[in-house]
Each structure stands twice: as structure tokens, then as C-alpha cells.
Amino acid sequence: MKFVGVTSCPTGIAHTYMAAEGLEQAARAAGHEIEVETQGSAGFEPLGPETIAAADAVIFAVGVPVRDQARFAGRPLVQADVKKAISDGPGLIARAVAAATEAQANPVAAQAGSPTQAAGGLITKVDQQASTATRVRQWLMTGVSYMIPFVAAGGILIALGFMVAQAAWGETGAVEVTKVPLTHLITGFNLLSGQDWAALLFQIGVASFGFLVPILAGFIAFAIADRPGLAPGIVGGALAVVVGAGFLGGIAAGFVGGFVALWISHWKVPKGMRGVMPVVVIPLLSVLITGLTMIVVLGRPLKALADGLASWLNGLSGANLILLGAILGLMMAFDLGGPVNKVAYTFATTGLAAATTATGGTSLKVMAAVMAAGMTPPLGLALATTVRRRLFSEAERENGQAAWLLGASFITEGAIPFAAADPLRVIPSCMLGSALTGGLVMLFGSTLRAPHGGIWVTPLISGPLLYLFAIAIGTVITAAAVIGLKAAGPGPVRTALDDAELVAV
């Protein structure tokens, strides 16, 4: 049989290596193969994922917790004190043989017995030895990797919903489709109705988008704290959505949840308590602390910020329109669906509602500027991934393909995976392009009578050619800025998702 093992001890200079030797000798004597990862002070070479995947069983002979334990999830596991491998290597090998045999005879039960089973092979590639800056990037990138499928699926479904709606309702379709309640689809979905199909696609897309921030936060926390991080991260991310903190709030939730979970899981507790730590204590306390932080600490200042920005914008109404367009553009791109973006968007849609009753040419221009500025971030990044592939990770390049459609459909969130992975360089680039586009749309004087829809509502836009020209300029400028900033700094962070299609996503 083939085994893998991990050995560790408090000091990391003696028992770790003696235990590894003990396991290797015992395995050889019994005619088995084993590769042992010595997590000692001399650094350690992680076992390759293929080696772990090929192992019939895993042996942990440890005095301190195994690092990156999730890598071994789902394999039959024998766990013992590090001294056991020194005093009785053959006994441990015999237990591993028994565990492997049991797993082959009864795969489901054996998996359930493995303590890390629920992580189900989720992986991160966070190098514990790397510098803090590198690890921060790897944490962010892990969250982004797992978020991208939700962005792609949700964004494309919403865009398809708009397209079908345009065909089914005519030129106001992108507006009508959002008004169809979910209950109508449950009780009266008609296979032959284009409108129903459009609403269905839209609703599923919106549901998928609902997971975007929770998954981002959850897997940032997972990268930091391993499995205990998932619950506080996901719940914290969901609360970031509730308090309107957007993806930046989600990143904060991921870090808070991850470090709280990491901290609690390192508490020294009496032996009798250890069993309930991962099941009850860690989830309970980490979720509570993270949730409290998101609602109480982050919620109030965010609300104050949103209120302040909204009244400031209303005060600007009489000012220079081009400046207003540029400011709205900056706000749209600042947090890509977060609180600042929402203030700008709400400002525009509120004006739109008023414009239907009064003569509101300015309000219609504001709406046009806001939508255009919200389209350039994903479009710009899509362009950047197309012309300079090497500056982006594989996951980002694939997201770049979807970002064309998302940007064209005014789904600003399509830029979030890029911004979350590298906020300091991506967000300023997006803001630059969006501000330019917002100002240009105001200058050209295009108006828009729909609150969303992207290029699918082009028939509702006055001066569509100049409008598209303004978007094109913002797109090119965003791409150029991103490429310039990325080329000047470190390259993309590779994640496990890039190295192998190990995770079925």
C-alpha cells in the first residue's frame, strides 16, 4: 500500500524527524511505501497533491496541529501522538493498513470517520513561510478563486435574462424583467413564454450573485484559518451584504472571521473540551464575534457615510454637470456595488423616478452617466486580460472572458474578482476610466430612461453613438491604467485552481 504521513513536535528539531524515520522504517519492513512530511523547524516540503491523492491512508504522528490539514481531507486517517511513531512505528503502520482496508470495503463510513471530511478536498495554496504581503495576496486570491464561478454564472444569467427580455417585451424589456415576482414563476411558469424565461434567468442570476460576497469572505477566512474560518467568513460576508458594505466589507469580514477563528482554534483547552471545540465552541464564538463586528462596528459608520454622500450629491445638483458626471463615475467604480456605488446609483434612479413626472432632462443625463460609468470597470479589465494575458492568473483570465458580457450588461460586479485580488491597483484604474466616461457622457448630453440594462437598452438612449464612444474611451483608459500598474509590480498570485483542475468548479 501507499501511505503519506505528517510528523511534528513542539520544538521541531528531534521528535519530528525520529518519528518520520520510525514510520519509514516500519513501512519498509512491512513492504509498504510511505512519504512523510516533516513539519519541523527546518522548514518543510509539502507533499504533492498527487501523492496525497494516491495514498491509501494518512498517518498524523504529531505533537502540534498539522499545518494545512485540509489537504488530507477525505483520506482514511490514523492519528497518534508523535512519540507513538518513535516507540511503535509498526503499530501505526498496521493501523493505517486497517484504516485503508476498511475504507476500501466501506468508503462512505470511512470518510465520515475522517475529521476533516467535510472540507471535501477544498484547497488553498497559502505558503505559510511567505512574507506577510504575499500571504495577504494569496488569501485574497483564494477567496476570489472560489467566488469567480458565482460571478460568471450569475452575471451571464442576468445578461441572458436582459437579452431574452429585450426580445420578449420590446425596448423596455430590461426594465420589465426585473418586475416579475418570483412567486409568478413558481405558480405560473409557462415554458412557451419568453417573458417567463427572461424572468427565470434573471432571478437565478440574482440568486447566484447573492453568494458573491459571502463566498469571497468565506474563502478568504478559509485560507487564513482553514476549515474553522468558513462559517464566520461566510456569515460575516452575508452580513456585509445586509449592512450594504459591498465586497470591500466582504474582504473585511473574511479577515475578521479568519483571524478570530484562527485565534480561537489555538486556545489551550482541557482535554475534555477538545471534542466540542470544532463542533460547537469555535463556530459559535467566531460567528458571534465576526457578526457583531460587521453589524455594530462597521454598520453604523457605513450608514453615516452613505447618508453623508447622498446629501452631498443632492447639494451638487446645480453644479457643473461634467464635474457631477465625473464624481458619479468615481463613486460607481470605487467599490463596485458597495455602499459608495449604491449611493451614486440610488441618486440616479431616484432622479429617474422624479423625471417621469416633471421635466427632468438633467436626471436622465445623470442616469446615462451612471450606467456608462458602471460598465467600464468590467469592460476595461476584460480588455486588459485580453491584451496582456501574462499579467493575470489563469482564474482571472477566464473571468475576463465573462467580464465582456457583464460589463456590456451594466453588471459592475464583473470587476470584483480583479478588484478583490489586487484592490490597490485595480480600483484606482477603474475609478479613472469611470470618471472619464461619466464626465464624457454628461458632455455629450446623452439621456437614458431605464435604470439598468447596459447595451441592451441602447434603444432607450439618446445619442447612442457618442454614448458608446464615451464607454469605449473609459474602457481603454481603465485597461491601460491596470496594465501600467500591474506591470510595475509583482506578477499574479497563482492559486491551487491555476495549477490543476483539482476542484470541480
Partner 1 sequence: MSLITEKLVVLNLDSPDRHTATRVLAEALAGEGRVTDLDGFLADVRKREEQMPTGIPGGIGIPHARSAHVTEPSLVFGRSSNGIDWGAEDGPATLIFLIAAPEGGGDDHLKILAALARRLMRPAFRDSLLNAPDAAAVVDVVTREVVNA
When binding is defined by CB under 8 A, the residue of 1, 2, 17, 464 that contacts partner 1 is 17
When binding is defined by CB under 8 A, the residue of 3, 5, 8, 22 that contacts partner 1 is 22
User: What is the spatial distance between Cα 130 and Cα 110, in angstroms, rounded to a whole number?
Assistant: 35
Q: At what angle do helices 339-355 and 246-265 cross, to 10 degrees?
A: 150
Burial 314-325, CB ≥16 within 10 A → b, else e: eeeeeeebeebb
User: What is the spatial distance between Cα 53 and Cα 74, in angstroms, rounded to a whole number?
Assistant: 9
Q: Mapping DSSP to helix (H, G, I), strand (E, B) and coil, where does residue 34 land?
A: strand
Return all residues near 289 (Cβ < 8 A) that are at least 6 apart: 232, 256, 260
- Segment contacting partner 1 (CB under 8 A): 10-18, 304-312, 405-413, 429-437? 10-18
Q: Is position 40 an interface residue for partner 1 (rule: CB under 8 A)?
A: yes
Rounded to a whole number of angstroms, the minimum distance from the CB of residue 24 to partner 1 is 9
Rounded to a whole number of angstroms, the minimum distance from the CB of residue 26 to partner 1 is 10
For partner 1, which is the closer residue by CB, 63 or 113?
Answer: 63
Rounded to a whole number of angstroms, the minimum distance from the CB of residue 88 to partner 1 is 8
Q: Is position 439 an interface residue for partner 1 (rule: CB under 8 A)?
A: no
| Size, binding site for partner 1 by CB under 8 A | 22
Rounded to a whole number of angstroms, the minimum distance from the CB of residue 79 to partner 1 is 17
Selection from 502, 470, 495 nearest residue 397 by Cα: 495
Burial 458-483, CB ≥16 within 10 A → b, else e: eebbbeeebbbbbbeebbbbbbbbbb
User: What is the spatial distance between Cα 224 and Cα 235, in angstroms, rounded to a whole number?
Assistant: 16
Q: Is position 83 an interface residue for partner 1 (rule: CB under 8 A)?
A: yes
For partner 1, which is the closer residue by CB, 40 or 249?
Answer: 40
- Segment contacting partner 1 (CB under 8 A): 14-22, 215-223, 281-289, 291-299? 14-22
Selection from 1, 67, 56, 55 nearest residue 28 by Cα: 1
Return all residues near 81 (Cβ < 8 A) that are at least 6 apart: 61, 62, 63
Rounded to a whole number of angstroms, the minimum distance from the CB of residue 83 to partner 1 is 7
When binding is defined by CB under 8 A, the residue of 6, 86, 348, 442 that contacts partner 1 is 86
Q: Which of 4, 6, 9, 431 is catalytic?
A: 9
Q: Mapping DSSP to helix (H, G, I), strand (E, B) and coil, where does residue 190 land?
A: coil
For partner 1, which is the closer residue by CB, 86 or 119?
Answer: 86
Query: What does DSSP say about strands 57-62 and 77-81: parallel, antiparallel, or unpaired?
Result: parallel
In sign, the C-alpha dihedral spanning 307, 312, 318, 319 is negative
Q: Is position 263 an interface residue for partner 1 (rule: CB under 8 A)?
A: no
User: What is the spatial distance between Cα 432 and Cα 332, in angstroms, rounded to a whole number?
Assistant: 11
Rounded to a whole number of angstroms, the minimum distance from the CB of residue 251 to partner 1 is 34
Cell of 40: 519541523
- Segment contacting partner 1 (CB under 8 A): 4-12, 303-311, 400-408, 465-473? 4-12
Is residue 9 part of the annotated active site? The answer reads: yes
Q: Is position 12 an interface residue for partner 1 (rule: CB under 8 A)?
A: yes
- Segment contacting partner 1 (CB under 8 A): 15-23, 174-182, 343-351, 411-419? 15-23
Q: Is position 39 an interface residue for partner 1 (rule: CB under 8 A)?
A: no
Q: Mapping DSSP to helix (H, G, I), strand (E, B) and coil, where does residue 317 land?
A: helix
Cell of 406: 457583464
Q: Is position 128 an interface residue for partner 1 (rule: CB under 8 A)?
A: no
- 44 to 73: interface string for partner 1, x by CB under 8 A: -------------------x----------
Burial label for 329, CB within 10 Å (0-12, 13-18, 19+), is buried
Q: Mapping DSSP to helix (H, G, I), strand (E, B) and coil, where does residue 40 land?
A: strand
Rounded to a whole number of angstroms, the minimum distance from the CB of residue 306 to partner 1 is 49
Q: Is position 79 an interface residue for partner 1 (rule: CB under 8 A)?
A: no
For partner 1, which is the closer residue by CB, 11 or 106?
Answer: 11
Q: Is position 43 an interface residue for partner 1 (rule: CB under 8 A)?
A: yes
Rounded to a whole number of angstroms, the minimum distance from the CB of residue 226 to partner 1 is 24
User: What is the spatial distance between Cα 289 and Cα 256, in angstroms, rounded to a whole number?
Assistant: 9
Catalytic residues: 9
Q: Where do contacts with partner 1 occur on this chain (CB under 8 A)?
A: 10-18, 20-22, 25, 38, 40-43, 63, 83, 86-87
